[in-house]
Amino acid sequence: MSDEPTSHPSATPLARVVSLYRYPVKALSPERIDRVTLNAGATIPFDRAYAIENGPGRFDPDAPQHLPKVTFITLMRNARAATLDTTFEDATETLTISRAGKQVARGQLNTKLGRSLVEQFLAAYMKDELRGALRIVSAPGHSFSDVKDKCLHIINLASLRELERAAGRPLDPLRFRPNVIVDGLPPWAEFDLELQELALGEARVQGLGRTQRCAATSVDPSTGLRDIDLPALLERTWGHDDFGFYARVTRDGVVATGDSLG
């Protein structure tokens, strides 16, 4: 990913935002949102605000730094996490976990007791995949993204349709953990946007580069099963394993479903 993206007007057709998502806890389920205020240099509020440390603690909340994703529970290695449904309440930072429609854990993550309640459930549920004590971690303003930048991840539905044709089956776009799903661009036209400055609703964003895909995309988010090797399919069909692109917010503004990107 380039450290110094260029900025120039987009020459591509406008795309339409069809859905917006955030992931309050890294590796746990997405939350769909209809409208959000973006701030320059920040993620969608509460996107990946928490992570589940797997094993000996490396994350220091007093001096937060970007760490490799393998430090935490991830779908790449811990596919069973995809079978949990979660909801997050902004005002109290309370996480509720359900499985098969039944609530199995609930806790206020900004309190020690609340974290402990959720940690106890997750430790039992993920016991065969843990490398040591499990710990829910966070720090004010920190995002546990797979990349160092605080950014959005954007995917193009037209490219997904091409990937579905190559796979010979439907594919849930949430395999790719997007923040913004757009439609209206030609297939793979997002790669022409990857280093451009763009309007996103009322906000502006600066493309940072393509998203290189990992084994997490091989996990069906509805079942938790590894059912297709998408990075290998991308490489075999198009000669790369990229899907989607990252973008940094450069100007505050509201974005909502139905807004344009371009």
Give the mean model confidence (pLDDT) for residues 112-120: 98
Q: How confident is the model at residue 1 (pLDDT cuts 50, 70, 90)?
A: very low
Based on its alpha-carbon atoms, the radius of gyration of the chain, rounded to whole angstroms, reads: 18
**Which amino acid does the sequence have at 138?**
S
pLDDT for 2: 40
- Give the sign of the dihedral formed by CA 75, CA 81, CA 86, CA 89: negative
Q: What average pLDDT score do residues 100-128 get? A: 96
Residue 97 pLDDT level (bands cut at 50, 70, 90): very high
Residue 176 DSSP SS3: helix
Q: How far apart are CA 171 and CA 105, in angstroms?
A: 29
- pLDDT of 73 > 90? The answer is yes
The pLDDT of residue 223 is above 90: no
pLDDT band for position 122 (cuts 50, 70, 90): very high
Place of tokens 């959005």: 152
Residue ranges of domains in the chain, CATH in brackets: 15-42+147-261 (2.40.33.20), 51-137 (no CATH)
Q: Which helix (H) or strand (E) holds 161?
A: helix 157-167
